[in-house]
Amino acid sequence: MLIPLLVVGLVSAAIPQVGDTAPDFTVKDTGGTSYTLSEMVKKGPVIVAFFPKAFTGGCTKELTAYRDRYKDIEKVQGQVLAFSTDDAETLTRFRTELKAPFAFIPDPDGKVVTAYDVKMPVVTVSKRYTFVVGEDRKVLKVDEGKDAIDPTGAIVACPLRKASAAKPSEAPAGNTPPIKAEPPTK
C-alpha cells in the first residue's frame, strides 16, 4: 500500500516537462493582486519564471532582460509572473529598483516552488527555471539554469493567439464572396 503512494508522490512532484499540464495556482503579487494560472492562460501564454534570490547578479540580469523585452512579450499577448521565495517586502523593493512592468510573486513558504518541484535541496529557495504555459495549462517550453536568464526562448515559445471573431473583411468559412472582375487594362 505504501509503495503506490510513494510512486504517486514522486510522479506528482516531478518538474513539469513540455506537453505536461502545469500545476494550477492562485497567488498574490507584491501589490496584493491575485493571479490564477488557469484563468490567465485563457488570455494568452504565461511565462512562469522562478528565480533564487532578489538583488543577486544572475537574478538581476534575468529580470532586467525580461523588463527590457517586455514589449516583445506583450506582442504575443504573453504575461510574466516572477516567483521567488523572498518575502513580499524584498520583492517590492527589487521590482521597484528594476522598474519591472510585470508581477513579482512572493512564495516564502515555497508552495508553488514545491508544486513545480524547483526547490533547492535542504533550503526553501527556488532553482532558476522558466516555464511557458499555454492554453489548458500545457507546458510549451522549459528553460533552466543559465538558459533561463535569457528570455528569448520563452518569448519565441509563446504562441500567437487566434482572433476570437472573424474580421469584418473576412467571409465566414464556407461562404466565399464573389470575385469582382477587374476591368481590362488597355
**Residues annotated as catalytic (active site), given as ranges:** 59
158: amino acid identity, one letter: C
Copy the grid coordinates of residue 110. 515555497
d(CA 159, CA 175): 28
* Dihedral of alpha carbons 82, 54, 141, 121, sign: negative
Cα–Cα separations (whole angstroms), residue 20 to 4, 43, 47, 87, 108 = 21, 19, 15, 29, 26
d(CA 69, CA 76): 12
Is the distance from CB of 80 to CB of 67 less than 8 angstroms? no
